[in-house]
Amino acid sequence: MIIDGIINGIALGCIYALVALGFVLVYKATKVINFAQGEIMMVCAYICYAGMTSFHLNFVISFIIAVLFGFVLGSLLERLFMRPLIGHSVLPAVIATIGIGMVLQAMVGLIWTFEPQEMDPFPVSPYHIWGVSISPVYLWTIIITFTLMLFFFLFFRYTLIGINLRAIAEDLIGSMATGIAVRKMFNFTWGLAAAVGAVAGILLAPFVFLHPHMGVVGLRALPAAVLGSFGSIPGAIVGGLVLGISETIAGLYLPKEIKDVFPWLVLFLILLVRPEGIFYTYEQKKV
């Protein structure tokens, strides 16, 4: 039972990690917490669902379409609503992301109504590995997440765009001076975060029903990002895994009411005990 709980928790933690990664990517570059991340995730899951049901496409093809759609959606939102706010304080930008989330929910509600839909593209019969039975959803979630993590590691390490993004996160004005196209990079970051959100949304859909309010589950990944010192990519992954495993194990022993708000209680504890998070790096700021 406890092993099942741990595997379940790792799968949930992988999804938290992906959503937290979306938050962290945007936060690192633009210092904005994107409260619409959950909704972007939800929209992309719906796109995948539409590809499978309305257009009768293969799951893999609709998965890829949804991820590409996520990328386009993210960069479009940045171009329309975030770019006019570059250079001003972050507060209006954060409020604008809340507005974006509401509009996206309304769009999905207009097209697919507020009825929950079921989407489970993975096979049902469990795999047996070393005497432990794993549901295919969990296995594929873990595999896809870790592949993506490897991709991000290589991306930020070796590609020019990845290095530019790291430079922007380090020092915005310095990277402007060295000729990095900061606006294009912001745009790319939003697209990347939305694409990660798309993957997270499609993986999350089998766990919960597809519903316009699904984005609230995405907000539960915020404590994971805080646990990993908001702004650190390995931190987001570790934070997500820790949160997912501890939430699932807590769900085995504690009443349901506590499980529902577990990430927020964890957040409270983190802020109380170690507010910098695990992967903290010291920063100085000039006035």
Q: Which of 50, 57, 94, 142 binds other proteins (CB under 8 A)?
A: 94
For residue 282, the number of C-alpha atoms closer than 13 Å in the C-beta half-sphere is 0
118 lies in the binding site for other proteins (CB under 8 A): no
Contact between 181 and other proteins by CB under 8 A: the answer reads no
CB 185 within 8 A of CB 168: yes
Distances in Å between the Cα of 169 and the Cα atoms of 57, 138, 162, 175 are 39, 33, 11, 9
Comparing CB distances to other proteins, the nearer of 100 and 198 is 100
Q: Three-state DSSP class for 128?
A: strand
Mind giving me the DSSP string for 187-238? Answer: HHHHHHHHHHHHHHHHHHTTTS-B-GGGHHHHHTTHHHHHHTTSS-HHHHHH
Separation of first and last alpha carbons in the chain: 54
d(CA 200, CA 203): 5
Query: Closest CB to other proteins among 110 and 252?
Result: 110
Position 154 contacts other proteins (CB under 8 A)? no
Q: Please report how close the Cβ of residue 229 comes to other proteins at its closest, in angstroms.
A: 11
Which of these ranges, 2-10, 78-86, 197-205, 240-248, lies near other proteins under the rule CB under 8 A? Answer: 78-86
For other proteins, which stretch binds (CB under 8 A), given 4-12, 46-54, 159-167, 216-224?
216-224
Regarding 103 and contact with other proteins (CB under 8 A), the answer is: yes
Considering only the stretches 85-93, 142-150, 158-166, 243-251, report the one whose residues sit in contact with other proteins under the rule CB under 8 A. 85-93
Q: Is 252 one of the binding residues for other proteins (CB under 8 A)?
A: no
Q: Given the complex with other proteins, which of 96 and 245 has the nearer CB atom?
A: 96
Question: For 189, what's the count of Cα atoms within 13 Å in the CB-facing half-sphere?
Answer: 30
CA distance 118 to 279: 38
Q: Which of 95, 132, 143, 154 binds other proteins (CB under 8 A)?
A: 95
Closest-CA residue to 193 (of 9, 35, 87)? 35
Q: Which stretch in 12-20, 108-116, 119-127, 166-174 sits in contact with other proteins by CB under 8 A?
A: 108-116
Give Cβ neighbours of residue 206 (< 8 Å, ≥ 6 apart).
119, 120, 121, 122, 137
CB of 130 to other proteins, least distance (A): 38
Q: Is residue 171 within the footprint of other proteins (CB under 8 A)?
A: no
Vertex 75 angle, CA 93 and 142, to 5°:
100
Residue of 3, 61, 72, 98 that binds other proteins (CB under 8 A):
98
Residue 114 touching other proteins (CB under 8 A): yes
143 is an interface residue for other proteins by CB under 8 A: no
Measuring CA to CA, how many Å separate 34 from each of 15, 81, 128, 144, 208?
Answer: 17, 12, 39, 23, 22
Q: Rule CB under 8 A: which of 16-75 touch other proteins? A: 33
- Name the residues that contact other proteins, by CB under 8 A: 33, 81, 84-85, 88-96, 98-107, 109-110, 113-114, 219, 222-223, 226, 230, 257, 260-261, 263-265, 267-268, 271-272, 275-276, 285-287
